[in-house]
Structure 1
Amino acid sequence: MSKVRRATHAGSWYPDNVGELTCQLDSWLSKAKPVHSPARAIIAPHAGYYYCGGCSAHAYKQIDPTNIRRVFILGPSHHVRLSGCALSSCEKYQTPLYDLSIDSKVYNDLYATGLFENMSLDTDEEEHSIEMQLPFIAKVMESQKNDLTIVPVLVGSLSADKEQQYGKLFSKYLLDPENLFVISSDFCHWGRRFHYTFHDKSFGDIWQSIEALDRMGMDIIEKMGPSDFTRYLGDYNNTICGRHPIGVLLNAIESVHTKNGNRKMTFKFVKYAQSSQCRSTHDSSVSYAAGTLVVH
Protein backbone atom coordinates (compact mmCIF):
# COMPACT_ATOMS: atom_id res chain seq x y z
CA MET A 1 0.00 0.00 0.00
CA SER A 2 1.32 3.40 -0.94
CA LYS A 3 -1.66 5.42 -2.11
CA VAL A 4 -3.42 8.23 -0.30
CA ARG A 5 -7.18 8.48 -0.73
CA ARG A 6 -8.09 12.07 -1.54
CA ALA A 7 -10.97 13.85 0.18
CA THR A 8 -12.98 13.71 -3.05
CA HIS A 9 -16.24 15.08 -1.58
CA ALA A 10 -14.66 18.03 0.23
CA GLY A 11 -15.81 21.33 -1.21
CA SER A 12 -19.15 19.90 -2.31
CA TRP A 13 -20.62 17.68 0.40
CA TYR A 14 -18.78 19.48 3.20
CA PRO A 15 -16.36 22.46 3.43
CA ASP A 16 -12.80 21.98 2.22
CA ASN A 17 -11.68 25.10 4.06
CA VAL A 18 -10.22 24.12 7.47
CA GLY A 19 -11.53 27.18 9.26
CA GLU A 20 -15.04 26.89 7.87
CA LEU A 21 -15.19 23.14 8.51
CA THR A 22 -13.87 23.51 12.08
CA CYS A 23 -16.38 26.25 12.83
CA GLN A 24 -19.22 24.13 11.46
CA LEU A 25 -18.26 21.01 13.42
CA ASP A 26 -17.68 22.98 16.64
CA SER A 27 -21.08 24.63 16.31
CA TRP A 28 -22.96 21.36 15.84
CA LEU A 29 -21.04 19.53 18.56
CA SER A 30 -21.61 22.39 21.04
CA LYS A 31 -25.38 21.97 20.63
CA ALA A 32 -25.30 18.22 21.41
CA LYS A 33 -25.09 16.63 24.85
CA PRO A 34 -23.42 13.37 25.97
CA VAL A 35 -26.59 11.55 27.03
CA HIS A 36 -25.64 7.92 26.30
CA SER A 37 -21.88 7.60 26.54
CA PRO A 38 -19.07 6.69 26.30
CA ALA A 39 -19.91 5.11 22.95
CA ARG A 40 -18.31 1.87 21.82
CA ALA A 41 -20.22 2.17 18.54
CA ILE A 42 -22.33 4.82 16.85
CA ILE A 43 -24.72 4.99 13.92
CA ALA A 44 -24.34 8.28 12.04
CA PRO A 45 -25.70 9.55 8.69
CA HIS A 46 -23.57 10.22 5.61
CA ALA A 47 -25.41 12.82 3.53
CA GLY A 48 -24.11 16.30 2.81
CA TYR A 49 -23.37 18.15 6.04
CA TYR A 50 -25.95 20.82 5.19
CA TYR A 51 -28.62 18.15 5.60
CA CYS A 52 -27.28 15.83 8.29
CA GLY A 53 -24.34 17.48 10.06
CA GLY A 54 -26.43 18.59 13.02
CA CYS A 55 -27.83 15.10 13.48
CA SER A 56 -24.40 13.45 13.13
CA ALA A 57 -23.01 15.63 15.90
CA HIS A 58 -25.39 14.02 18.40
CA ALA A 59 -23.81 10.63 17.69
CA TYR A 60 -20.24 11.94 17.78
CA LYS A 61 -20.90 13.82 21.04
CA GLN A 62 -21.29 10.43 22.77
CA ILE A 63 -17.63 9.57 22.10
CA ASP A 64 -14.98 9.89 24.79
CA PRO A 65 -11.68 9.89 22.86
CA THR A 66 -9.51 9.28 25.94
CA ASN A 67 -8.86 5.55 25.48
CA ILE A 68 -9.74 5.10 21.81
CA ARG A 69 -6.87 4.24 19.51
CA ARG A 70 -8.65 2.70 16.52
CA VAL A 71 -11.85 3.54 14.63
CA PHE A 72 -13.61 0.96 12.48
CA ILE A 73 -15.80 2.62 9.83
CA LEU A 74 -18.40 0.37 8.18
CA GLY A 75 -20.06 2.04 5.22
CA PRO A 76 -22.44 0.66 2.59
CA SER A 77 -21.39 0.40 -1.04
CA HIS A 78 -23.52 2.72 -3.19
CA HIS A 79 -21.84 2.27 -6.58
CA VAL A 80 -20.22 -1.18 -6.74
CA ARG A 81 -21.99 -4.50 -6.26
CA LEU A 82 -20.36 -6.50 -3.47
CA SER A 83 -21.59 -9.76 -1.97
CA GLY A 84 -19.09 -9.43 0.87
CA CYS A 85 -16.90 -6.69 2.32
CA ALA A 86 -13.89 -4.87 0.87
CA LEU A 87 -10.87 -3.05 2.28
CA SER A 88 -9.02 -0.01 0.98
CA SER A 89 -5.80 -0.25 -1.03
CA CYS A 90 -4.52 2.97 0.56
CA GLU A 91 -2.36 3.78 3.57
CA LYS A 92 -4.01 7.08 4.47
CA TYR A 93 -7.31 8.90 4.06
CA GLN A 94 -7.09 12.66 3.64
CA THR A 95 -9.36 15.08 5.48
CA PRO A 96 -9.13 18.91 5.46
CA LEU A 97 -8.15 18.70 9.16
CA TYR A 98 -5.41 16.05 9.04
CA ASP A 99 -4.74 12.68 7.43
CA LEU A 100 -5.98 9.47 9.04
CA SER A 101 -3.72 6.40 8.81
CA ILE A 102 -5.15 2.96 8.08
CA ASP A 103 -4.30 0.25 10.62
CA SER A 104 -2.16 -2.12 8.55
CA LYS A 105 -1.98 -4.79 11.25
CA VAL A 106 -5.76 -5.08 11.56
CA TYR A 107 -6.06 -5.02 7.76
CA ASN A 108 -3.58 -7.90 7.51
CA ASP A 109 -5.57 -9.85 10.11
CA LEU A 110 -8.81 -9.22 8.22
CA TYR A 111 -7.29 -10.20 4.86
CA ALA A 112 -5.98 -13.42 6.46
CA THR A 113 -9.58 -14.57 7.07
CA GLY A 114 -10.18 -14.76 3.31
CA LEU A 115 -13.46 -12.86 3.74
CA PHE A 116 -12.38 -9.48 2.35
CA GLU A 117 -11.87 -8.17 -1.17
CA ASN A 118 -9.66 -5.26 -2.13
CA MET A 119 -11.40 -2.15 -3.45
CA SER A 120 -9.82 -0.13 -6.22
CA LEU A 121 -8.79 3.47 -5.64
CA ASP A 122 -11.57 4.59 -8.01
CA THR A 123 -14.18 2.70 -6.00
CA ASP A 124 -12.73 4.08 -2.78
CA GLU A 125 -12.74 7.70 -3.93
CA GLU A 126 -16.19 7.50 -5.55
CA GLU A 127 -17.85 6.17 -2.39
CA HIS A 128 -19.07 8.77 0.12
CA SER A 129 -20.41 6.64 2.97
CA ILE A 130 -17.02 6.29 4.66
CA GLU A 131 -15.58 9.69 3.73
CA MET A 132 -18.48 11.62 5.25
CA GLN A 133 -17.56 10.24 8.68
CA LEU A 134 -13.89 11.23 8.48
CA PRO A 135 -14.01 14.97 9.34
CA PHE A 136 -16.18 14.24 12.39
CA ILE A 137 -13.77 11.47 13.44
CA ALA A 138 -10.76 13.75 12.93
CA LYS A 139 -12.41 16.51 14.96
CA VAL A 140 -13.64 14.39 17.87
CA MET A 141 -10.42 12.33 18.05
CA GLU A 142 -8.04 15.29 17.67
CA SER A 143 -6.50 14.79 21.12
CA GLN A 144 -5.43 11.27 20.09
CA LYS A 145 -4.46 11.97 16.50
CA ASN A 146 -0.82 10.90 16.92
CA ASP A 147 -1.87 7.44 18.11
CA LEU A 148 -5.03 7.03 16.04
CA THR A 149 -5.61 4.57 13.19
CA ILE A 150 -8.73 3.78 11.18
CA VAL A 151 -10.13 0.58 9.68
CA PRO A 152 -12.41 1.50 6.75
CA VAL A 153 -14.62 -1.37 5.56
CA LEU A 154 -16.91 -1.17 2.53
CA VAL A 155 -19.94 -3.39 3.16
CA GLY A 156 -21.80 -5.01 0.29
CA SER A 157 -25.30 -6.48 -0.06
CA LEU A 158 -24.85 -9.18 2.53
CA SER A 159 -27.18 -12.10 3.16
CA ALA A 160 -28.36 -12.62 6.74
CA ASP A 161 -25.85 -15.47 7.06
CA LYS A 162 -23.00 -13.24 5.91
CA GLU A 163 -24.04 -10.47 8.28
CA GLN A 164 -23.77 -13.06 11.03
CA GLN A 165 -20.38 -14.25 9.77
CA TYR A 166 -18.90 -10.75 9.67
CA GLY A 167 -20.57 -9.89 12.98
CA LYS A 168 -18.85 -12.81 14.70
CA LEU A 169 -15.55 -11.73 13.18
CA PHE A 170 -15.88 -8.12 14.38
CA SER A 171 -17.21 -9.06 17.83
CA LYS A 172 -13.72 -9.48 19.29
CA TYR A 173 -12.81 -5.97 18.14
CA LEU A 174 -16.07 -4.59 19.54
CA LEU A 175 -15.14 -5.88 22.99
CA ASP A 176 -11.82 -3.99 22.99
CA PRO A 177 -12.29 -0.60 24.73
CA GLU A 178 -9.56 0.87 22.52
CA ASN A 179 -11.81 0.38 19.49
CA LEU A 180 -14.73 2.52 18.29
CA PHE A 181 -17.16 1.41 15.58
CA VAL A 182 -18.78 3.98 13.29
CA ILE A 183 -21.72 2.58 11.33
CA SER A 184 -22.52 4.84 8.39
CA SER A 185 -26.20 4.91 7.46
CA ASP A 186 -29.02 7.19 6.45
CA PHE A 187 -32.56 6.03 7.15
CA CYS A 188 -35.67 6.16 4.94
CA HIS A 189 -35.16 7.48 1.39
CA TRP A 190 -38.72 8.41 0.41
CA GLY A 191 -40.10 9.51 -2.95
CA ARG A 192 -40.48 8.45 -6.54
CA ARG A 193 -36.81 9.09 -7.25
CA PHE A 194 -35.98 6.47 -4.61
CA HIS A 195 -38.72 4.10 -5.84
CA TYR A 196 -40.22 4.05 -2.36
CA THR A 197 -43.55 5.69 -1.52
CA PHE A 198 -44.91 3.72 1.44
CA HIS A 199 -47.54 5.74 3.33
CA ASP A 200 -49.52 4.51 6.31
CA LYS A 201 -52.27 7.14 6.46
CA SER A 202 -53.15 6.19 10.04
CA PHE A 203 -50.09 8.23 11.10
CA GLY A 204 -51.17 11.36 9.22
CA ASP A 205 -49.06 13.15 6.61
CA ILE A 206 -46.41 11.32 4.61
CA TRP A 207 -43.57 12.68 6.74
CA GLN A 208 -45.29 11.43 9.89
CA SER A 209 -45.69 7.98 8.35
CA ILE A 210 -41.99 8.02 7.43
CA GLU A 211 -41.03 8.93 10.98
CA ALA A 212 -43.23 6.18 12.42
CA LEU A 213 -41.64 3.66 10.05
CA ASP A 214 -38.12 4.81 10.92
CA ARG A 215 -38.81 4.81 14.65
CA MET A 216 -40.17 1.28 14.39
CA GLY A 217 -36.80 0.25 12.93
CA MET A 218 -34.91 2.31 15.51
CA ASP A 219 -36.82 0.63 18.35
CA ILE A 220 -35.86 -2.79 16.96
CA ILE A 221 -32.20 -1.75 16.67
CA GLU A 222 -32.29 -0.57 20.29
CA LYS A 223 -33.40 -4.09 21.29
CA MET A 224 -30.25 -5.31 19.44
CA GLY A 225 -31.85 -8.36 17.78
CA PRO A 226 -30.44 -8.93 14.27
CA SER A 227 -33.16 -11.37 13.17
CA ASP A 228 -35.90 -8.92 14.22
CA PHE A 229 -34.21 -6.16 12.19
CA THR A 230 -33.96 -8.46 9.14
CA ARG A 231 -37.67 -9.30 9.53
CA TYR A 232 -38.59 -5.63 9.79
CA LEU A 233 -36.72 -4.84 6.56
CA GLY A 234 -38.46 -7.76 4.84
CA ASP A 235 -41.88 -6.58 6.01
CA TYR A 236 -41.55 -2.89 5.14
CA ASN A 237 -38.61 -2.65 2.70
CA ASN A 238 -37.55 0.56 4.43
CA THR A 239 -34.79 2.09 2.32
CA ILE A 240 -32.16 2.26 5.08
CA CYS A 241 -29.02 2.38 2.97
CA GLY A 242 -26.71 1.19 5.76
CA ARG A 243 -28.92 -1.76 6.69
CA HIS A 244 -26.10 -4.25 6.10
CA PRO A 245 -23.49 -2.42 8.22
CA ILE A 246 -26.19 -2.13 10.91
CA GLY A 247 -26.87 -5.85 10.53
CA VAL A 248 -23.17 -6.61 10.99
CA LEU A 249 -23.10 -4.51 14.18
CA LEU A 250 -26.22 -6.20 15.59
CA ASN A 251 -24.71 -9.62 14.89
CA ALA A 252 -21.43 -8.55 16.54
CA ILE A 253 -23.43 -7.51 19.62
CA GLU A 254 -25.30 -10.82 19.62
CA SER A 255 -22.02 -12.72 19.32
CA VAL A 256 -20.62 -10.81 22.31
CA HIS A 257 -23.74 -11.68 24.31
CA THR A 258 -23.44 -15.36 23.34
CA LYS A 259 -19.78 -15.58 24.38
CA ASN A 260 -19.88 -13.12 27.29
CA GLY A 261 -23.35 -13.20 28.77
CA ASN A 262 -22.27 -11.02 31.66
CA ARG A 263 -21.34 -8.06 29.43
CA LYS A 264 -24.19 -5.57 29.53
CA MET A 265 -24.65 -3.47 26.42
CA THR A 266 -27.30 -0.86 25.68
CA PHE A 267 -28.15 0.91 22.43
CA LYS A 268 -30.02 4.20 22.27
CA PHE A 269 -30.94 6.64 19.52
CA VAL A 270 -30.34 10.22 20.60
CA LYS A 271 -31.47 12.21 17.54
CA TYR A 272 -33.74 11.89 14.51
CA ALA A 273 -34.21 14.29 11.59
CA GLN A 274 -35.54 14.49 8.03
CA SER A 275 -34.14 16.51 5.14
CA SER A 276 -37.65 17.86 4.50
CA GLN A 277 -41.26 17.07 5.40
CA CYS A 278 -43.01 15.20 2.59
CA ARG A 279 -46.68 16.05 2.13
CA SER A 280 -47.35 14.86 -1.42
CA THR A 281 -46.09 12.18 -3.79
CA HIS A 282 -44.16 14.88 -5.64
CA ASP A 283 -41.94 15.40 -2.59
CA SER A 284 -38.92 13.42 -1.47
CA SER A 285 -36.81 13.22 1.67
CA VAL A 286 -34.03 11.33 3.41
CA SER A 287 -34.13 10.55 7.13
CA TYR A 288 -31.18 10.65 9.54
CA ALA A 289 -30.70 9.03 12.93
CA ALA A 290 -27.90 9.21 15.48
CA GLY A 291 -27.48 6.17 17.73
CA THR A 292 -24.94 4.98 20.26
CA LEU A 293 -23.91 1.67 21.83
CA VAL A 294 -22.51 1.64 25.35
CA VAL A 295 -20.73 -1.32 26.94
CA HIS A 296 -21.27 -1.27 30.71
Structure 2
Amino acid sequence: MNIRYPAVAGSFYPESAEELRQTLNQLLTKAPKNSCHPKALIAPHAGYIYSGPIAATAYNTLADMADKIHRVVLLGPAHRVPLRGIAMPDTDVFRTPLGDITVDQKALDQIQMLDCITTSGQAHAWEHSLEVHLPFLQQTLKDFELVPLVVGETEPEVVANVIETLWGGEETLIVVSTDLSHYLKYQDAQKQDYTTTEAIEHLTCHIDGQQACGCNPLNGLLLATQHHHLKLTTLDLRNSGDTAGPKDHVVGYGAYAIH
Protein backbone atom coordinates (compact mmCIF):
# COMPACT_ATOMS: atom_id res chain seq x y z
CA MET A 1 0.00 0.00 0.00
CA ASN A 2 1.42 3.37 -1.04
CA ILE A 3 0.89 6.03 1.62
CA ARG A 4 1.07 9.80 1.42
CA TYR A 5 2.37 10.72 4.88
CA PRO A 6 1.59 14.01 6.65
CA ALA A 7 3.94 16.82 5.66
CA VAL A 8 2.77 19.64 7.94
CA ALA A 9 1.56 17.82 11.08
CA GLY A 10 3.31 19.47 14.00
CA SER A 11 3.54 22.82 12.21
CA PHE A 12 0.21 23.71 10.60
CA TYR A 13 -1.77 21.59 13.06
CA PRO A 14 -1.01 19.32 16.06
CA GLU A 15 0.90 16.11 15.45
CA SER A 16 -0.66 14.31 18.41
CA ALA A 17 -3.99 12.66 17.58
CA GLU A 18 -5.42 13.56 20.99
CA GLU A 19 -4.35 17.19 20.78
CA LEU A 20 -5.58 17.41 17.18
CA ARG A 21 -9.04 16.10 18.14
CA GLN A 22 -9.22 18.60 21.00
CA THR A 23 -8.19 21.45 18.70
CA LEU A 24 -10.78 20.48 16.09
CA ASN A 25 -13.51 20.13 18.72
CA GLN A 26 -12.71 23.58 20.10
CA LEU A 27 -12.68 25.18 16.65
CA LEU A 28 -15.94 23.53 15.57
CA THR A 29 -17.69 24.27 18.86
CA LYS A 30 -16.80 27.96 18.72
CA ALA A 31 -17.64 28.41 15.04
CA PRO A 32 -21.10 29.62 13.93
CA LYS A 33 -23.61 26.95 12.89
CA ASN A 34 -25.21 26.97 9.45
CA SER A 35 -27.13 23.99 8.09
CA CYS A 36 -27.28 25.00 4.43
CA HIS A 37 -26.52 21.46 3.17
CA PRO A 38 -23.73 22.39 0.74
CA LYS A 39 -22.76 20.59 -2.43
CA ALA A 40 -19.39 22.35 -2.28
CA LEU A 41 -17.30 24.31 0.18
CA ILE A 42 -14.55 26.88 -0.26
CA ALA A 43 -12.26 27.11 2.76
CA PRO A 44 -8.74 28.28 3.70
CA HIS A 45 -5.57 26.26 4.24
CA ALA A 46 -3.22 28.09 6.60
CA GLY A 47 -2.08 26.93 10.02
CA TYR A 48 -5.03 26.23 12.29
CA ILE A 49 -4.08 29.04 14.68
CA TYR A 50 -4.64 31.47 11.80
CA SER A 51 -7.32 30.04 9.50
CA GLY A 52 -8.79 27.25 11.62
CA PRO A 53 -11.73 29.29 12.94
CA ILE A 54 -12.76 30.23 9.40
CA ALA A 55 -12.36 26.67 8.09
CA ALA A 56 -14.43 25.41 11.03
CA THR A 57 -17.26 27.72 9.98
CA ALA A 58 -17.30 25.98 6.61
CA TYR A 59 -17.14 22.46 8.02
CA ASN A 60 -19.90 23.10 10.56
CA THR A 61 -22.33 23.10 7.62
CA LEU A 62 -21.84 19.32 7.29
CA ALA A 63 -23.31 18.39 10.67
CA ASP A 64 -26.62 17.11 9.24
CA MET A 65 -25.02 15.48 6.20
CA ALA A 66 -22.23 13.36 7.66
CA ASP A 67 -23.93 10.01 7.05
CA LYS A 68 -24.72 10.86 3.41
CA ILE A 69 -21.29 11.95 2.15
CA HIS A 70 -19.06 9.07 1.06
CA ARG A 71 -16.72 10.82 -1.37
CA VAL A 72 -14.85 14.13 -1.11
CA VAL A 73 -13.32 15.75 -4.19
CA LEU A 74 -10.63 18.04 -2.75
CA LEU A 75 -8.90 20.56 -5.02
CA GLY A 76 -6.14 22.92 -3.98
CA PRO A 77 -3.36 25.00 -5.54
CA ALA A 78 0.24 23.91 -6.06
CA HIS A 79 2.61 25.72 -3.67
CA ARG A 80 5.66 23.44 -3.80
CA VAL A 81 6.25 22.50 -7.42
CA PRO A 82 5.56 24.23 -10.74
CA LEU A 83 2.56 22.55 -12.31
CA ARG A 84 0.49 22.84 -15.43
CA GLY A 85 -2.78 20.97 -15.43
CA ILE A 86 -4.10 18.88 -12.55
CA ALA A 87 -2.11 16.27 -10.65
CA MET A 88 -3.57 13.07 -9.21
CA PRO A 89 -1.61 11.31 -6.45
CA ASP A 90 0.35 8.07 -6.92
CA THR A 91 -0.73 6.75 -3.52
CA ASP A 92 -3.58 4.61 -2.22
CA VAL A 93 -3.97 6.33 1.14
CA PHE A 94 -3.55 9.79 2.67
CA ARG A 95 -2.51 9.52 6.31
CA THR A 96 -3.09 12.05 9.10
CA PRO A 97 -2.63 11.75 12.87
CA LEU A 98 -6.32 10.74 13.00
CA GLY A 99 -5.86 7.77 10.66
CA ASP A 100 -5.88 6.81 7.01
CA ILE A 101 -8.17 8.02 4.24
CA THR A 102 -8.57 5.79 1.21
CA VAL A 103 -8.08 7.36 -2.20
CA ASP A 104 -11.03 6.71 -4.53
CA GLN A 105 -9.23 4.94 -7.36
CA LYS A 106 -12.45 4.46 -9.35
CA ALA A 107 -12.95 8.22 -9.39
CA LEU A 108 -9.37 8.75 -10.55
CA ASP A 109 -9.97 6.22 -13.32
CA GLN A 110 -12.91 8.37 -14.45
CA ILE A 111 -10.73 11.41 -15.05
CA GLN A 112 -7.29 10.04 -15.88
CA MET A 113 -7.88 10.18 -19.65
CA LEU A 114 -8.75 13.88 -19.61
CA ASP A 115 -6.10 16.02 -21.30
CA CYS A 116 -5.21 18.06 -18.23
CA ILE A 117 -4.68 15.16 -15.83
CA THR A 118 -1.27 13.86 -14.80
CA THR A 119 -0.06 11.64 -11.96
CA SER A 120 2.52 13.26 -9.70
CA GLY A 121 3.57 12.08 -6.28
CA GLN A 122 5.92 15.07 -6.12
CA ALA A 123 3.04 17.55 -6.47
CA HIS A 124 1.29 15.94 -3.49
CA ALA A 125 4.19 15.01 -1.21
CA TRP A 126 4.68 18.38 0.51
CA GLU A 127 1.49 20.18 -0.51
CA HIS A 128 -0.30 21.64 2.52
CA SER A 129 -3.31 23.10 0.68
CA LEU A 130 -5.00 19.69 0.67
CA GLU A 131 -3.53 18.21 3.83
CA VAL A 132 -4.85 20.78 6.31
CA HIS A 133 -8.43 19.97 5.28
CA LEU A 134 -8.15 16.26 5.94
CA PRO A 135 -8.45 16.34 9.77
CA PHE A 136 -11.51 18.60 9.48
CA LEU A 137 -13.09 16.09 7.08
CA GLN A 138 -12.21 13.17 9.36
CA GLN A 139 -13.72 14.98 12.33
CA THR A 140 -16.97 16.01 10.63
CA LEU A 141 -17.72 13.09 8.29
CA LYS A 142 -18.06 9.37 8.95
CA ASP A 143 -16.94 7.01 6.19
CA PHE A 144 -15.60 8.62 3.01
CA GLU A 145 -13.05 8.18 0.25
CA LEU A 146 -10.90 11.00 -1.09
CA VAL A 147 -10.24 12.36 -4.57
CA PRO A 148 -7.24 14.67 -3.96
CA LEU A 149 -6.26 16.94 -6.86
CA VAL A 150 -3.49 19.55 -6.97
CA VAL A 151 -4.37 22.21 -9.52
CA GLY A 152 -1.67 24.14 -11.37
CA GLU A 153 -1.99 26.63 -14.22
CA THR A 154 -5.29 25.55 -15.75
CA GLU A 155 -8.19 27.25 -17.49
CA PRO A 156 -11.51 27.43 -15.59
CA GLU A 157 -13.26 25.38 -18.28
CA VAL A 158 -10.76 22.55 -17.83
CA VAL A 159 -11.15 22.47 -14.05
CA ALA A 160 -14.93 22.72 -14.37
CA ASN A 161 -14.92 19.70 -16.70
CA VAL A 162 -13.09 17.61 -14.10
CA ILE A 163 -15.51 18.76 -11.39
CA GLU A 164 -18.49 17.97 -13.62
CA THR A 165 -17.13 14.48 -14.29
CA LEU A 166 -16.94 13.83 -10.55
CA TRP A 167 -20.06 15.82 -9.56
CA GLY A 168 -22.14 12.81 -8.51
CA GLY A 169 -25.11 13.12 -6.16
CA GLU A 170 -25.52 13.76 -2.45
CA GLU A 171 -22.77 11.21 -1.74
CA THR A 172 -20.16 13.59 -3.20
CA LEU A 173 -18.86 16.76 -1.53
CA ILE A 174 -16.54 19.10 -3.41
CA VAL A 175 -14.04 21.21 -1.47
CA VAL A 176 -11.84 23.93 -2.94
CA SER A 177 -8.92 25.08 -0.81
CA THR A 178 -7.83 28.71 -1.06
CA ASP A 179 -6.68 31.65 1.00
CA LEU A 180 -7.42 35.21 -0.12
CA SER A 181 -5.09 38.25 -0.05
CA HIS A 182 -1.50 37.83 1.12
CA TYR A 183 0.69 40.11 3.24
CA LEU A 184 -1.26 43.35 3.03
CA LYS A 185 -1.93 45.72 5.90
CA TYR A 186 -5.09 44.87 7.82
CA GLN A 187 -7.44 47.50 6.36
CA ASP A 188 -6.08 47.03 2.83
CA ALA A 189 -6.65 43.29 3.13
CA GLN A 190 -10.20 43.83 4.36
CA LYS A 191 -11.00 46.02 1.35
CA GLN A 192 -9.46 43.62 -1.16
CA ASP A 193 -11.02 40.52 0.39
CA TYR A 194 -14.44 42.19 0.44
CA THR A 195 -14.09 42.97 -3.27
CA THR A 196 -12.95 39.41 -3.96
CA THR A 197 -15.87 38.03 -1.98
CA GLU A 198 -18.31 40.11 -4.02
CA ALA A 199 -16.80 38.60 -7.17
CA ILE A 200 -17.06 35.08 -5.71
CA GLU A 201 -20.70 35.69 -4.73
CA HIS A 202 -21.41 36.72 -8.32
CA LEU A 203 -19.71 33.50 -9.53
CA THR A 204 -17.08 35.48 -11.42
CA CYS A 205 -14.64 33.03 -13.01
CA HIS A 206 -11.76 35.48 -13.36
CA ILE A 207 -10.34 35.61 -9.83
CA ASP A 208 -6.57 36.10 -10.03
CA GLY A 209 -3.66 34.98 -7.88
CA GLN A 210 -3.43 38.29 -6.04
CA GLN A 211 -7.01 37.84 -4.87
CA ALA A 212 -6.83 34.12 -4.02
CA CYS A 213 -3.87 31.74 -4.17
CA GLY A 214 -6.26 28.94 -5.13
CA CYS A 215 -7.70 30.94 -8.02
CA ASN A 216 -7.38 28.09 -10.53
CA PRO A 217 -9.51 25.49 -8.69
CA LEU A 218 -11.76 28.30 -7.43
CA ASN A 219 -12.55 29.63 -10.89
CA GLY A 220 -13.33 26.12 -12.12
CA LEU A 221 -15.73 25.51 -9.24
CA LEU A 222 -17.47 28.85 -9.78
CA LEU A 223 -17.97 27.99 -13.44
CA ALA A 224 -19.42 24.58 -12.54
CA THR A 225 -21.70 26.32 -10.03
CA GLN A 226 -23.06 28.47 -12.86
CA HIS A 227 -23.81 25.35 -14.90
CA HIS A 228 -25.80 23.84 -12.03
CA HIS A 229 -27.63 27.09 -11.15
CA LEU A 230 -26.69 26.82 -7.48
CA LYS A 231 -26.45 29.53 -4.85
CA LEU A 232 -23.27 30.66 -3.10
CA THR A 233 -23.39 31.91 0.49
CA THR A 234 -20.54 33.66 2.31
CA LEU A 235 -20.18 32.07 5.74
CA ASP A 236 -17.13 33.87 7.14
CA LEU A 237 -14.63 36.51 6.06
CA ARG A 238 -11.67 37.35 8.28
CA ASN A 239 -7.90 37.51 8.19
CA SER A 240 -4.94 36.53 10.33
CA GLY A 241 -5.11 39.90 12.08
CA ASP A 242 -8.48 38.82 13.46
CA THR A 243 -7.29 35.43 14.68
CA ALA A 244 -3.65 35.16 15.74
CA GLY A 245 -1.32 37.43 13.78
CA PRO A 246 -0.15 41.05 13.69
CA LYS A 247 -2.19 43.55 11.71
CA ASP A 248 0.58 44.97 9.56
CA HIS A 249 1.11 41.84 7.46
CA VAL A 250 -2.02 39.67 7.15
CA VAL A 251 -3.44 36.84 5.06
CA GLY A 252 -7.13 36.81 4.18
CA TYR A 253 -9.46 33.85 4.69
CA GLY A 254 -13.00 33.21 3.52
CA ALA A 255 -15.48 30.39 3.99
CA TYR A 256 -18.23 29.89 1.40
CA ALA A 257 -20.91 27.28 0.76
CA ILE A 258 -22.45 26.33 -2.58
CA HIS A 259 -25.91 24.87 -2.18
In structure 2, the partner of 1:88 is 89
Inter-partner Cα distance in structure 2 for 1:275 and 1:169: 32
- Within a 5 Å distance, the mapping from 1:1-296 to structure 2 comes to 2-35=1-34, 37-63=36-62, 64-120=65-121, 122-141=122-141, 144-145=142-143, 148-158=144-154, 162-174=155-167, 176-191=169-184, 206-226=185-205, 230=206, 233=208, 238-257=210-229, 265-276=230-241, 283-294=248-259
Structure 1 or 2: more helix by fraction: 1
Identity value in percent: 30
Per the TM alignment, residue 175 of structure 1 is displaced from its structure 2 partner at its CA by 5.1
Inter-partner Cα distance in structure 2 for 1:114 and 1:213: 34
Given that 1:171 and 1:253 are in contact with CA atoms closer than 8 Å, whether structure 2 keeps it comes out as no
Greater gyration radius: 1
Matched AA of 2:10:
G
Inter-partner Cα distance in structure 1 for 2:166 and 2:118: 19
Per the TM alignment, residue 190 of structure 1 is displaced from its structure 2 partner at its CA by 2.0
Please give the secondary structure, in 2, of the residue aligned with 1:71: strand
Matched AA of 1:132:
V
Given that 1:167 and 1:255 are in contact with CA atoms closer than 8 Å, whether structure 2 keeps it comes out as no
Inter-partner Cα distance in structure 1 for 2:10 and 2:183: 26
Per the TM alignment, residue 172 of structure 1 is displaced from its structure 2 partner at its CA by 4.5
Given that 2:200 and 2:222 are in contact with CA atoms closer than 8 Å, whether structure 1 keeps it comes out as yes
RMSD: 1.8
Per the alignment, do residues 213 and 154 of structure 1 end up closer, same or farther by CA in structure 2, a change over 3 Å counting?
same
The superposition leaves residues 41-69 of structure 1 with CA deviations (integer Å, 9 ceiling, x where unpaired) of 11111111111111110000011212111
Please give the secondary structure, in 2, of the residue aligned with 1:61: helix
Inter-partner Cα distance in structure 1 for 2:166 and 2:127: 24
Please give the secondary structure, in 2, of the residue aligned with 1:153: strand
Given that 2:189 and 2:250 are in contact with CA atoms closer than 8 Å, whether structure 1 keeps it comes out as no
Gaps of 5+ in 2: none
Q: How many pairs align?
A: 253
TM-score using structure 1 length: 0.81
Inter-partner Cα distance in structure 1 for 2:166 and 2:111: 11
Matched AA of 1:65:
A
Gaps of 5+ in 1: 192-205, 258-264
Given that 1:110 and 1:116 are in contact with CA atoms closer than 8 Å, whether structure 2 keeps it comes out as yes
Per the TM alignment, residue 128 of structure 1 is displaced from its structure 2 partner at its CA by 0.6
Given that 2:85 and 2:116 are in contact with CA atoms closer than 8 Å, whether structure 1 keeps it comes out as yes
Matched AA of 1:111:
Q
The superposition leaves residues 7-45 of structure 1 with CA deviations (integer Å, 9 ceiling, x where unpaired) of 121111110111111111011111223325111111111
Inter-partner Cα distance in structure 2 for 1:290 and 1:10: 22
Given that 1:71 and 1:149 are in contact with CA atoms closer than 8 Å, whether structure 2 keeps it comes out as yes
Per the alignment, do residues 155 and 81 of structure 1 end up closer, same or farther by CA in structure 2, a change over 3 Å counting?
same
Matched AA of 2:44:
P
The superposition leaves residues 126-167 of structure 1 with CA deviations (integer Å, 9 ceiling, x where unpaired) of 1110101110011111xx22xx10000000022xxx211220
